[in-house]
Structure formats: structure tokens, C-alpha cells
Chain A
Amino acid sequence: MAAANQDNSRPQNTRSIMVFLQAHAPFSNMDDDHLAHFAEHSTLRFYADGDVVLAAEDGVVNRFYVVKQGRIRGERHNEKADKTETTFEISIGECFPLAAIVGERPTRTLHRAAGDTFCLSIEQDAFITLISESEPFRDFCLRGVSSLLDQVNQRIQTGAMVSMGSSISLSTPLDRYALRNPIVCTPDLPIRKAVALMHENNVGSIVITDDNRHPAGIFTLRDLRTMIAEDTCSLDAPVRQIMTKSPCCLPATADAFAAAMLMAEHHFSHLCLVDENNCLIGMVSERDLFSLQRVDLVSLARTIGTATHLRTLVSLRTDVSRLVDAMLAHGADSGQVVKIITTLNDVTVRRVLELNIQKNDPGIPFTWLTFGSEGRQEQTLLTDQDNGILFQTPDGMTEDQVREKLLPFARTVNDELAECGFTLCQGNIMASNPKLCLSDREWDDWFIRFIDASTPQNLVYSSIFLDMRAIFGPTDSLDELLAKVLSRIQKNALFQKMLAGNAFQRKPPLTMFRNFRYVTDGNKRSLDLKRQGLAPFVESVRVFALANGIKSANTLERMDDLAQAGVFDIKDANAWKDAYSLIQAIRMRSHQEMLERGEELTNYIDPDDLNPLDRRILRESFRQAQRLQQKLEVTYQL
């Protein structure tokens, strides 16, 4: 920025436009000369509130715009509802139209000024010059918003890599991944014997070396499969006839990224590692490089599932957090990560239950239920216990007698889960609460009352009890219960409307002017990503899911199912899924950062701590939540 200011050979107004542009993507990544080209070829136009800036009738788009002041609203006419809907908003520093100018077609959306607005724009000629000369600009325009999403994901990944140290990063020298002393044989060994050697050593490949230990070829199980299937060679032939000659080699000092690129480029699944004399010292497989996190997940789950002491389980929680880092670093999306956290949490809960049954069996079969975020399989590292028990009363016992046996057991389990990091539920929504340790008949009664009497408290509970899942014990009785609950809700329009009204209360944190609306308590500016960011999605989606008999409790799956059922437009569903996942990703990253600083985990963030790109993505995600709520509003006439 300073460079542009000091450059006195350019007119003041050109410089000031460059400085303006530099504060926004993609201009922040562009060279000064390209920014100057933009500035010098731009015109500045004014649009009063409500003026049309760009419309389909204008024909093929021949200008590219950046909002300098004010806002632009995208409007599309909804044929069904016969009304105009705002499809997007473009504010200061943002560009439009991307798809239309790149596709050399008219825009499909009416662009209208929202408030008094100034836009800078360049003609197609200048646009093409910039596209061809500036790589960041080209990237941005050709990939459009998806490239913004990529940038956010990239940043989330980079951040996670830093926090992991270099242990799993792709810049780690290869020799850390490499298998030392790989299985080798001479070129003259019969194939049958080479395969026997691989089998004995339980490996999928063998390196064929010459007398000086230089790699001459490589033979893998995949080659064997091809050979047998295509009958190209006899098993008694020497391995040199079938091996892949001159295998890919890299020095041990090369990094994992180089190896990954080489493998991806040539579709090799194995690479030889050689020393400075080209002698074989090791071997790297694709699996070694790419499935580290999967191996960790599997082995971690196994370790948790077989732990014999509570304290082992407690200590394994740090590994879960480390795994989350690794997952994010390897590009797993937030949907995958929360599912994995939930899976590991499930394993932990099951193990705690199993250990307690071993020590002190209550003697009565039961189903352990989870509600809320765990029920939806959407847990992050910050998680409360929301659980309950469903049982079938054995003959000759009353329900209270069963509870007498189950409640002390549940109490111990709740306490031990708390030690493992699952905070005790402040609302006492736990299995040790007599009101939540019920027989199948009692649960059914409970839900009938719940649905018929829509008290305010019940509506608060709806976010917990209507997202329910069994994680331990028989599941049949829960399936029956759920089917009854769903059909009751589907028949009860009043309950649906009250649920919808309740979901509509949770407004995304945006002001009328599309700025962030901050939580008011305290003097710190903060947003609650869970209650203000995710909840509007979760709650609205739940209403649609329950009303349409969707069985899944997971918000992303519910959206998929609703799109399949034709309740949601597929494009809308995808936009909402993206938005929801991005808020979730930003929330998880901030949790990881808090952990690293040794702070208590909260769902609050200060948007000022985010970079401009994340802020913008976050704002757009909240706007998607508003659109989803508008759908709720229209559907239920709120």
C-alpha cells in the first residue's frame, strides 16, 4: 500500500483508487501495475437508491464493476410466489458480475443499488487485459466465488498445519514417511518367489535392485492382478519380465509434497527413495502420504474402544483434538470433521458404559439416547452432555423399580463422562434425571404431551429432543418411538407452525444494513457462532425435516433429503449447506486456536480478529441463513 502512495508518477486519484482496491480481494493479491491499469481505465458512476445498475435487457455484459461505496442488491423474480427476492448482496470492495462477463452473456439477475452507491467499472477490453496478465485476477474471475471459498479453506488448512508443527505437513522431508529397508529381490527371481516374499513380509510391493542396490524396477500387487487377469506372463518367469522398469526415484531430502505431485502426475502409487549414489534406501507409498489421518482415526477409535481404565479415556481426549487439527490440515470439510468427532465421542461414551456394566451391571437392558448436537452428529470439541435412557419394563417390575436400578448407574456414567470432557448439562438433560430415564410407553406419552401442549419451555426443548439418536443398546424401540413422533408432527400443523415461529426467532447476526449485529453483553464486540450462526440453520432445517417426515437428525443430511424430496431447491440447498459448513469451520478453527492458547472454549468470536475475506464469507453465510428463514416465513406465513 505504501508503495502506491509513494509512487508520484501516477495521478493522485489513480493512486487513491489503487489504495482502495488493495484493501479487497482479489486486488490485494495483484501487482501495482495491474491495479494501475484497472484504475486508469476505470470510470466512476453514481446510482441513487433503487436505480438499476445492470439488467438482463442490457444485453451481453461489457463492463466489470467494483462497489466503491454503498451496496448492490441482486433481485430475481420468484414465479411461484410472484414476488421479488433478493438473491445476493454486494458491498464495498466486491465485484460483479462475474459469471456473465466471463461467459459473455447478459446477466440473469437484476442488479439494483441499495442506498446511494458509487461503482468503479472497466470495459471489457481492460477486463480482458487484466484476465490475461494477472494471475490472481484470472483465478478470481474464472473460479468466482468458489475461489473465495477455496481461499478460506486453504487458510483453515494452513492454520491447522502450523499448529501441528511439521509432523504431518507436506513439507516434511520424505524420509520421515519412508519405509526403511524395503523388501528387495534380484531381477532373475521367479515371479512366484517374489510374490511369496511380499506375502511373508505382508507388503504390497517389492523393489527389484541390481548388484549395486540401484533400483531397477518395481513390482506391485496391482501388477500381479493385471498379469493374472490378462494372462501376460507365467508365474515362473523372472520378475524382470513383468516389473515396471526405471521406477520413480527421489532423494531422501525431497519433501512429501514433491512426492505427492510426482505420484499424482504419473499415477504411481510407489516411489523409491535413494541416496546420493542412487542406491535404494527406502520406499514411500501413496497410502503412507495420504492416509495418515485415516490410520490415526482408526487406531485412535480402536484404542478408545478397548481402553480398560477411565483415566486412559480421559488422556485420549487430547488425541482427539490433535486429530481434528490433522483432519482440517488434510482438507477434510467441517461436515466430515464433526462426524468424526461425534464418532469418537460415541466410542468414548460406549466404552464408559461398557466399563461401568463390567463393574456394576444394573441387570436391565437399556438404550442410551443422545440428544441435541450429539444426536445430530454435529459435535465439536466444546460439547455438553445431553442424554437419556429408554428401557422396556421387564415383566413383574414397575417402571419406578427399573429406575431405582438404572439411575445410580446413570449418575456414575454422567460423572465419568464429565471427567472425559463432556461437560455436565446445566439443564439437567441427562440420563440420571428421573424424567429422562423412561420406558418406551412413558417416552411416547412424554412426546404426545410435548407435541400437543406447545408451551414455551417445550419449544426450547424441541431443539434438544427432536434431534435424537441411540448410541448404545438395542435400537428397535427407538425406531418405533421416532416413527410415531414423526407422524404426529406431520399431522399437527399447529405444532409445526409454532416450531417454525420459534426457529424464526433466532435471527442471524446481521443488521438491516448487512453489518454484523454483535452480542450486547459485555463490552467486547462478539458474535456467537453457535447460537447466532449455526442455530438459524439447524432450527429452520429441523422444522422442514420434521414436517416432511425426514428421519435423519443431521442438519446436512436433512438438507440433502429435503432437496431430494423437492422441498428445497437443489441450488438453495447447496448454498445453505456451504454457508452452514463454513460457519462451522470458522467455529472449529477458533476452538483449536483457543485450545492452543490454553483458554476455555467458547463459541464467541470477534469478527475484527478475522481477515477481510473470512468476514465477508461469514457475512454472506449469515445472509444465506436469512434466506432460509425467509423460506420458513413464506411457508408458515409467519
Chain B
Amino acid sequence: MLKQIKQWIARHRSGQSGSTAPENTPTPKTPGDQLLSECRLIVLDLETTGLNAGKDEVIAVGAVAINGGAIDLSDQFDLILRRPELDITETVLIHGIGPEALTQGHETEDALLFLLEWMNGDPVLAYHSAFDQKFLEKTLKAELGYTRNHTWMDVADLLPAFFPDAPTGGKGLDHWADFFGLEVSARHHAASDALATAELTLIALNRANKSGLKTLKHLHDKLRYHRRLQSIHGV
């Protein structure tokens, strides 16, 4: 990762890939007739200093890409942002990221630009995506003045939409991971949680494909419908 991002920064500084301006990053795609079996999806997880999007900050970004229905480990993002000025004593126990690791992070601006380019405007999935979306959009706006909206989908909705009766015993990532017997290598590590979320996504996509649901738009609609049903029933 480090090597990759250094190369990218070097390329940018030497002006080989044009301007580093955020408006030149790939345009976010809208859900259309892209086939789920062919398109690229981003599965992302953020680590933050706390739960309050108003005052807390992003510490680390972990993401993997699903290409053509498979998690492609040559296409992943795993980075700790540079946030040495923050007081992170509260959450350091949960994440295991100490101040030392943070100072080894990267210039936030460069890292976020690289992230946008890596995301390539593709749809983003996350577990309880509202949280990650809020933090990421806030950070992008504050650091880069970037305001364009990606398509976000919530894996926490995706799973019950396809496995409505699964006795998971709860709605958390851990509940679903346990239910499907997944082994999460390092829980609360952004990249590791992203991989677990992506594995759950694959399981849901397999089921979607079998029920005849083939395109990104269908999937997006189904999630919207599922959310609306839930709000009606007040679940």
C-alpha cells in the first residue's frame, strides 16, 4: 500500500497524471443497468475517534473491491490517516491504533485524493453505511472541498433483505459474521472489517443472483424498498 501511494504521489507531483484537483477525480456512478456479476463495488470501513460526526475524525480507511462477483485482493485500500494532533485516548482501546501509528500516517489530503481516484466513482457498500458516509463526506468536504455524492448501500440492510428469517440473534456485523461462520482476522481493524463486510456482501449477491436480481439498479431499488418496509413496520 505504502509503495503504491508513494508512487501515486510521486506521479502526481511530477505532473504526469494531470492536476491533483479533486474535481478531476472520477465521477460517481449512478445505479443503472450495470450487471452485478460484472461491475466493481467498493466495500469500505472507517475507523474514527468516536461516534459523533460533528466533532470526531477519521483515523483509518480500509476498503476492498468486489470485481465481477469476487473480492479482488490486488485491489484494496488500507491506510492510516495522519492525525497526530488528535486526542484519541478514548477509542484507542477499541481500534488498537496508538498515537505512534498515527504519526506514520499520510498527508490527509494526498491520501484522500488517492482514495477518490481508487474508488473510481464506483458504488460504496458499508455496514451501517450512514455512519461511514457521514464521516467520509464530512472529511472529503473539509479537506478537499469535495462535495459530489457517491452511491451508498448499507450491507446491514442488504443481508436481512435476502435472508429475512435468519436467526442471527442481532443486527450487528458480528452477528451476521457468526451466523455465516466467517473468521474475522482482526475485528475493529478497518481493512479487516471491510473484508468481513465484503464477504457478507458476496453471500447476499449469490442469493440475489439466484433470485433473478441481476443489475445494480435492481439491487439499489430492492434496498430502498426494504428500508421503506422497515420504517412502515417500525422495525
Min CB–CB distance B204 → chain A (angstroms):
9
Known: A44-B73, A45-B70. A13 touches B192 (CB 8 A): yes
Known: A12-B185, A16-B192. A42 touches B73 (CB 8 A): yes
Is there contact, CB below 8 Å, between B73 and A46?
Answer: no
CB neighbours (8 Å) of A40 from chain B are: 73-74
A10 and B73 CA atoms in complex are apart in Å by 12
Min CB–CB distance B34 → chain A (angstroms):
19
A41 and B73 CA atoms in complex are apart in Å by 6
Residue of A39, A47, A48 near B73 (CB, 8 A) is A39
Is there contact, CB below 8 Å, between A44 and B185?
Answer: no
Known: A13-B185, A40-B74, A69-B182. A46 touches B199 (CB 8 A): yes
Is there contact, CB below 8 Å, between A12 and B191?
Answer: yes
Closest A-chain residue to B205, C-beta based? A46
CB neighbours (8 Å) of A15 from chain B are: 185
Q: Which of chain A's residues 31-55 have a Cβ closer than 8 Å to chain B? A: 39-48, 51
Residue of B67, B191, B206 near A11 (CB, 8 A) is B191
CB neighbours (8 Å) of B199 from chain A are: 44, 46, 118
Is there contact, CB below 8 Å, between A43 and B191?
Answer: no
Q: Check: A85 CB closer than 8 A to any chain B CB.
A: no
A10 and B3 CA atoms in complex are apart in Å by 10
A11 and B185 CA atoms in complex are apart in Å by 12
Min CB–CB distance B219 → chain A (angstroms):
16
CB neighbours (8 Å) of B180 from chain A are: 116
Known: A40-B74, A48-B207. A12 touches B69 (CB 8 A): no
CB neighbours (8 Å) of A39 from chain B are: 73
Is there contact, CB below 8 Å, between A43 and B185?
Answer: no
Closest A-chain residue to B75, C-beta based? A43
DSSP class of A's interface residues: helix, strand, loop or mixed? mixed
A16 and B198 CA atoms in complex are apart in Å by 15
Residue of A19, A41, A51 near B185 (CB, 8 A) is A19
Q: Check: B189 CB closer than 8 A to any chain A CB.
A: yes
Chain A interface extent, by class: 20 to 34
Is there contact, CB below 8 Å, between A47 and B206?
Answer: yes
Is there contact, CB below 8 Å, between A13 and B202?
Answer: no
DSSP class of B's interface residues: helix, strand, loop or mixed? mixed
A12 and B206 CA atoms in complex are apart in Å by 26
Q: Which of chain B's residues 1-31 have a Cβ closer than 8 Å to chain A? A: 1-3
Closest B-chain residue to A43, C-beta based? B70
CB neighbours (8 Å) of A47 from chain B are: 206
CB neighbours (8 Å) of A10 from chain B are: 1
CB neighbours (8 Å) of A310 from chain B are: none
Is there contact, CB below 8 Å, between B186 and A11?
Answer: no
Closest B-chain residue to A11, C-beta based? B78
- Residue-wise, chain B 141-174 has the 8 Å CB interface mask toward A (1 for contact) of 0000000000000000000000000000000000
Q: Check: B123 CB closer than 8 A to any chain A CB.
A: no
Is there contact, CB below 8 Å, between B203 and A13?
Answer: no
Is there contact, CB below 8 Å, between B64 and A45?
Answer: no
Is there contact, CB below 8 Å, between A69 and B181?
Answer: yes
Closest A-chain residue to B210, C-beta based? A48
A19 and B192 CA atoms in complex are apart in Å by 13
Residue of A16, A17, A41 near B186 (CB, 8 A) is A16
Q: Check: A14 CB closer than 8 A to any chain B CB.
A: yes
Is there contact, CB below 8 Å, between A44 and B71?
Answer: yes
Q: Check: B121 CB closer than 8 A to any chain A CB.
A: no
A376 and B58 CA atoms in complex are apart in Å by 73
A242 and B36 CA atoms in complex are apart in Å by 81
Is there contact, CB below 8 Å, between A13 and B2?
Answer: no
Is there contact, CB below 8 Å, between A48 and B70?
Answer: no
Is there contact, CB below 8 Å, between B203 and A41?
Answer: no
Min CB–CB distance B107 → chain A (angstroms):
18
Q: Check: A9 CB closer than 8 A to any chain B CB.
A: yes
A15 and B182 CA atoms in complex are apart in Å by 17
Is there contact, CB below 8 Å, between B78 and A13?
Answer: yes
- Residue-wise, chain B 174-190 has the 8 Å CB interface mask toward A (1 for contact) of 00000011110110010
Q: Check: B38 CB closer than 8 A to any chain A CB.
A: no
Residue of A13, A41, A43 near B195 (CB, 8 A) is A13
Residue of B3, B195, B203 near A116 (CB, 8 A) is B203
Min CB–CB distance A356 → chain B (angstroms):
65
CB neighbours (8 Å) of B181 from chain A are: 69, 116
Q: Check: B33 CB closer than 8 A to any chain A CB.
A: no
A41 and B182 CA atoms in complex are apart in Å by 21
Is there contact, CB below 8 Å, between A12 and B207?
Answer: no
Q: Check: B72 CB closer than 8 A to any chain A CB.
A: yes
A16 and B192 CA atoms in complex are apart in Å by 8
A10 and B74 CA atoms in complex are apart in Å by 12
Closest B-chain residue to A15, C-beta based? B185
CB neighbours (8 Å) of B73 from chain A are: 13-14, 17, 39-44
CB neighbours (8 Å) of A9 from chain B are: 1-3
Most buried by B among A20, A41, A47, A48: A48
Is there contact, CB below 8 Å, between B186 and A44?
Answer: no
Residue of B1, B186, B195, B206 near A48 (CB, 8 A) is B206
Min CB–CB distance B98 → chain A (angstroms):
13
Is there contact, CB below 8 Å, between B69 and A45?
Answer: yes
Closest A-chain residue to B1, C-beta based? A11
Residue of A12, A19, A43, A51 near B72 (CB, 8 A) is A43
Min CB–CB distance B194 → chain A (angstroms):
8
CB neighbours (8 Å) of A16 from chain B are: 185-186, 192, 195
Residue of A11, A13, A69 near B183 (CB, 8 A) is A69
Residue of B62, B198, B203 near A12 (CB, 8 A) is B62
A11 and B74 CA atoms in complex are apart in Å by 10
Q: Check: B76 CB closer than 8 A to any chain A CB.
A: yes
Closest B-chain residue to A40, C-beta based? B74
Q: Which 6 residue pairs of A and B lie closest in terms of their CB atoms, listed nearest first?
A: A16-B185, A46-B202, A11-B78, A44-B71, A43-B70, A12-B191
> Beyond the given A13-B191, A45-B69, A69-B183, could you list 6 further A-B residue pairs with CB under 8 A, ordered by the A residue number?
A9-B3, A13-B194, A16-B195, A20-B185, A44-B202, A48-B210
Some 27 contacts from A to B, beta carbons below 8 A apart, are: A9-B1, A10-B1, A11-B76, A11-B191, A12-B78, A12-B185, A12-B189, A12-B191, A13-B78, A13-B185, A17-B73, A19-B185, A39-B73, A41-B74, A43-B70, A44-B70, A44-B73, A44-B195, A44-B202, A46-B199, A46-B202, A46-B206, A48-B203, A48-B207, A48-B210, A69-B181, A69-B183
